Amino acid sequence: MPLKFRPKLDKIVELLLYLAQRAPGVDKYQAVKFFYLADREHLARYGRPITFDNYYALWYGPVASKALDLIEGDRWVMRAAKIERLPFTTTLGKAPNGSDTIFLSDPLRKVNFDLFSKSDIRTFDEIIEKYKGYSFKQLMDLTHEHEAYKEAWEKRRGDRDHAEMYYEEMIEDKNRRAALVEDLDPVSANM
């Protein structure tokens, strides 16, 4: 049975704000990949994700769905997050590959670090530092090699352009995965 978490919208908003502060000019594609890589890494190290976001495999790799919805200004997700606007500036523009994108910059307030553990921020900082210079294609190629992405993409129905990803498949070590699933399965829906 897949681990099911409830996305922590307050943490997602604050982590996007932190990203806008820490790496101004990052675009939405980088943001959703950084979230995925950080949640994956934190889950493997500490037994829980940072944001608990829902992930989907698309042709260009894993996507943190609620984070993307917020960046794109989805009114239902904004309302669920109890915000009227994002606490940073978003700007429409062109990515280096010529595709339309949204850039994050100019925080409008300070980050509420009370929502995060030290390991949350440390892991996210490591991911930003390691991958901030990666191009769209490099991030796509990297994440296409992950088991969780491959499993989801291969199992998508028909000619759908997306498929749900599962947290337990983000843990590549099979022994660690089994132990973690056994521990988290009874409580994951309440985390």
Find the domain containing 167 and state its range: 9-177
**pLDDT digits 0-9 by tens, 12-68:** 999 999 999 999 999 999 999 999 999 999 999 988 999 999 999 999 999 999 999
| Cβ–Cβ under 8 Å, residues 122 and 115 | no
Beta bridge partners of 94: 100
Go through 146-179 and write b for each residue having 16 or more CB atoms within 10 A of its CB, e for each that does not: bebbeebbeeeeeeeeebebbbbbbbeeeeebee
SS3 88: strand
Look at residue 180 and tell me whether its pLDDT is greater than 70. Answer: no
Tell me the pTM: 0.91
Instruction: Give pLDDT, residue 74.
Output: 97
**Does residue 185 lie in a domain region?**
no
**Does residue 190 lie in a domain region?**
no
Per the prediction, the chain carries an average pLDDT of: 91
Look at residue 181 and tell me whether its pLDDT is greater than 70. Answer: no
Tokens 């995925």, residue? 36
**Does residue 14 lie in a domain region?**
yes
Within 8 A by CB and 6+ apart from 154, the residues are: none
**Does residue 112 lie in a domain region?**
yes
Instruction: List the structure tokens of 3.
Output: 């681990």
Distances 117 to 23, 90, 127 between C-alpha atoms, Å: 20, 27, 16
d(CA 71, CA 80): 14
Instruction: Give pLDDT, residue 186.
Output: 58
**Does residue 187 lie in a domain region?**
no
Instruction: Give pLDDT, residue 79.
Output: 97
| Domain total of the chain | 1
**Does residue 4 lie in a domain region?**
no
Look at residue 9 and tell me whether its pLDDT is greater than 80. Answer: yes
**pLDDT digits 0-9 by tens, 116-151:** 999 999 999 999 999 999 999 999 999 999 999 999
d(CA 31, CA 122): 16
**Does residue 183 lie in a domain region?**
no
**Does residue 150 lie in a domain region?**
yes
